[in-house]
C-alpha cells in the first residue's frame, strides 16, 4: 500500500520547475519510504519509467555505465535490458539505492545535460558520504530529505479528516473538553507507539498486535545496527544510538559519548558522532548560549542532545532489553498507566514534530544562582526577531520554574512560553498550555 506523503508534493514541484536542469536525490534513513515515494511518483506522473535498484541489479545494467559517453547506445541498451520504452521528455529513470554504485551518481551530470529524460535518485546519506571520495559530485542534483511519517501523514492514513479537526480546535485557542481531549490524546499515543516508519504503520493498519508491530520496529533497528557496523566495526555508533533513551531519561544537560560507550572519547571517535548524525536516524538539538543574539549563531556544537528521528523506534529502544515487548506493556502505555515518568518520551515526540516543521532544534541551559543545579528551556523556536520557549511535561502538572525564570530573564526577546503536555488547552500566569498533539500547528 502506498501512503500519501508530503515528499510527493515536493517531487511535483521539482518536476514542474527544475527537472529539466536537475536530478533530485531523495536522501534519508533506511525504511522511511524513499523508494516507494519515487516509484509511485514515476507511475502517476510519467508515461513510462525505468527503476534501477542498485541493491539488486543485473550485471548487464552495470555494464551500461562503463561507456556513458555514448548516450544513444546507453539508452538503447537500458531499454532493451529492462523491456521498457522511454519517451523523450515524458519518462523518468530512478536510480534506487544509488549510494551502492557511485558511478551512476557521477553520470547524472551528463544525463541531465542530455535533456531527454528526468532522473530521481534515492540513497541513504551515511552510505552516500562514504562512497563519493573518488567521484565528481554532480552540481546538477537537488536534494530532498525524507523523514519518517509525521503526525499529519499518519492521520491521513489511520484517521482521515481528524488532522483538520485538530487544527480547527487549535485555532479557537479554547479548552477542548475532556471527552474529546481524551480521544485525541489516545490517538497521539498510538502514533508514538507505532511511529512513522511505513512498515510499522502498515502493520498497524493490517490489525497486527503491538507485539508484532514492535517486532517490525526491532527489525528496522537491527538494519540500522548492521549499517552502522559496516562503517564502524567497533560497534560504537550502535552504542551511541542505543544510549539515546537512557541519556534523555536521566535528564543530563547534554549527550555524552562517554556515557554511551563507557570510555573517554578519542580524536577518531568524533567522526563516529558525525556519522550517526549523517545517518538521519537521529535528531540533534544544540544548546544555544545566548538567545538574545541568535539561536544559530550562538549554538554550542559541543553541547547537544540527541533524539530518535522516529518516536516509534524510540519506544522500542526503551524496551529493547526485553526479548519482545508484550501487548500488555503497550496497553499500559496507550492508557498512560506506565509507572515511569515518560516526560523524555514526549520530549522526543516534540523534537520529531519540530523537525517535521522544518525548524532546527535548540535548547538553552543556565546556572541557578548559588546552586549546583541549573535551569533548562527544553526547546527554543525562532519567531521573527524573538523566540518562543517550550517546556515538555508528561502530565502537565507541577511547577514550570525554568520556563518562568526564562520568561523573566529574557523578557526582551520572548514572544510566548508554552507548556506541552497531556493537559487540555489553557492559559495561566502568562504561559500557554497545549496538548502535545497540537505541536504541529505551533511549528507550522
- CB 232 within 8 Å of CB 241: no
**Count, residues in the chain:** 444
pLDDT at residue number 369: 81
pLDDT at residue number 22: 97
Count of other CB atoms within 10 angstroms of residue 75: 20
pLDDT at residue number 319: 86
pLDDT at residue number 130: 56
pLDDT at residue number 364: 96
Helices (H) then strands (E): counts for the chain: 20, 14
How many whole angstroms separate alpha carbon 134 and alpha carbon 302?
A: 30
Per-residue cell: 253: 544537560
The β-bridge partners of 26 are: 122, 144
- CB 345 within 8 Å of CB 318: yes
pLDDT at residue number 90: 98
Phi/psi region, residue 251 (left: phi>0; alpha: psi -120 to 50; beta: rest), is left
pLDDT at residue number 243: 97
Q: Nearest Cα to 291, choosing from 358, 391, 388?
A: 388
Q: Nearest Cα to 286, choosing from 294, 241, 236, 258?
A: 294
The β-bridge partners of 95 are: 52, 121
List the chain domain ranges. 6-145, 151-442
> Collapsing DSSP states into helix, strand and coil, what is residue 209?
coil
Q: How far is CA 420 from the centre of its chain?
A: 20
The β-bridge partners of 208 are: none
- CB 203 within 8 Å of CB 158: no
> Collapsing DSSP states into helix, strand and coil, what is residue 334?
helix
Count of other CB atoms within 10 angstroms of residue 327: 14
Per-residue cell: 287: 544548546
Between strands 374-377 and 431-435, the pairing is: unpaired
Q: Mean pLDDT, consecutive 10-residue segments, the chain of 444 residues?
A: 93 97 94 96 98 94 92 96 97 94 91 97 68 65 95 96 96 94 94 96 95 94 92 94 95 93 88 91 96 92 96 93 70 75 90 95 91 90 94 80 94 95 92 96 93
Phi/psi region, residue 416 (left: phi>0; alpha: psi -120 to 50; beta: rest), is beta
Q: Nearest Cα to 276, choosing from 239, 245, 246?
A: 239
Q: Nearest Cα to 279, choosing from 331, 244, 319, 248?
A: 244
The DSSP-derived string for 276-321 is: HHHTTSEEEEEEES-TTT-TTTTEEEEEEEEEES-HHHHHHHHTTT
Fold of 6-145: Rossmann fold (3.40.50)
pLDDT at residue number 139: 82
Residue 299 phi, psi (nearest 5): -75, 140
pLDDT at residue number 136: 63
pLDDT at residue number 247: 95
Amino acid at each position: 500500500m502506498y501512503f500519501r506523503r508530503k515528499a510527493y508534493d515536493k517531487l511535483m514541484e521539482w518536476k514542474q520547475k527544475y527537472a529539466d536542469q536537475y536530478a533530485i536525490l531523495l536522501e534519508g534513513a533506511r525504511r522511511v519510504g524513499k523508494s516507494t515515494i519515487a516509484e509511485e511518483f514515476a507511475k502517476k506522473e510519467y508515461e513510462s519509467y525505468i527503476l534501477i535498484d542498485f541493491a539488486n541489479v543485473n550485471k548487464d545494467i552495470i555494464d551500461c555505465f562503463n561507456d556513458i559517453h555514448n548516450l544513444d547506445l546507453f539508452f538503447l541498451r537500458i531499454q532493451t535490458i529492462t523491456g521498457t520504452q522511454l519517451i523523450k521528455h515524458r519518462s523518468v529513470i530512478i536510480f534506487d539505492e544509488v549510494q551502492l554504485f557511485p558511478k551512476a551518481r557521477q553520470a547524472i551530470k551528463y544525463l541531465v545535460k542530455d535533456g531527454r529524460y528526468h532522473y530521481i535518485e534515492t540513497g541513504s546519506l551515511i552510505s552516500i558520504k562514504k562512497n563519493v571520495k573518488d567521484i565528481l559530485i554532480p552540481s546538477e542534483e537537488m536534494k530532498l530529505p525524507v523523514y519518517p511519517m509525521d503526525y499529519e501523514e499518519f492521520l491521513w492514513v489511520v484517521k482521515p479528516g481528524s488532522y483538520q479537526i485538530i487544527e480547527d480546535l487549535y485555532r479557537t485557542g479554547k479548552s477542548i473538553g475532556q471527552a474529546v481531549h481524551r480521544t485525541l490524546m489516545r490517538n497521539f499515543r498510538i502514533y508514538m507507539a507505532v511511529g512513522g516508519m511505513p512498515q510499522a504503520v502498515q502493520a498497524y493498519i493490517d490489525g497486527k498486535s503491538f507485539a508484532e508491530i514492535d517486532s517490525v520496529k526491532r527489525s528496522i533497528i537491527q538494519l540500522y545496527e548492521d549499517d552502522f557496523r559496516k562503517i564502524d566495526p567497533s560497534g560504537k555508533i550502535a552504542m551511541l544510538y542505543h544510549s539515546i533513551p537512557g541519556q534523555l531519561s536521566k535528564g543530563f544537560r547534554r549527550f555524552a559519548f562517554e556515557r554511551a560507550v563507557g570510555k573517554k572519547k578519542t580524536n577518531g571517535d568524533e567522526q563516529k558522532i558525525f556519522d550517526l548524525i549523517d545517518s538521519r536516524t537521529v535528531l540533534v538539538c544544540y544548546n544555544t548560549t545566548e538567545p538574545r543574539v541568535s539561536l544559530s549563531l550562538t549554538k554550542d556544537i559541543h553541547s547537544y542532545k540527541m533524539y530518535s528521528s522516529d518516536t516509534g523506534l524510540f519506544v522500542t529502544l526503551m524496551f529493547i532489553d526485553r526479548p519482545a515487548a508484550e501487548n500488555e506493556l503497550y496497553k499500559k502505555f496507550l492508557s498512560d498507566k506506565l509507572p515511569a515518568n515518560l516526560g523524555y518520551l514526549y520530549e522526543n515526540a516534540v523534537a520529531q514534530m519540530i523537525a517535521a516543521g522544518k525548524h532546527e532544534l535548540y535548547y538553552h541551559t543556565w546556572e541557578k544562582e548559588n546552586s549546583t543545579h541549573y535551569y533548562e528551556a527544553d526547546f527554543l523556536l525562532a519567531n521573527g526577531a524573538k523566540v518562543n520557549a517550550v517546556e515538555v511535561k508528561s502530565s502537565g502538572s507541577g511547577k514550570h520554574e525554568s520556563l518562568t525564570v526564562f520568561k523573566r530573564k529574557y523578557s526582551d526577546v520572548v514572544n510566548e512560553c508554552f507548556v506541552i503536555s497531556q493537559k487540555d488547552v489553557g492559559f495561566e500566569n502568562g504561559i500557554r498550555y497545549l496538548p502535545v498533539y497540537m505541536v504541529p500547528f505551533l511549528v507550522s
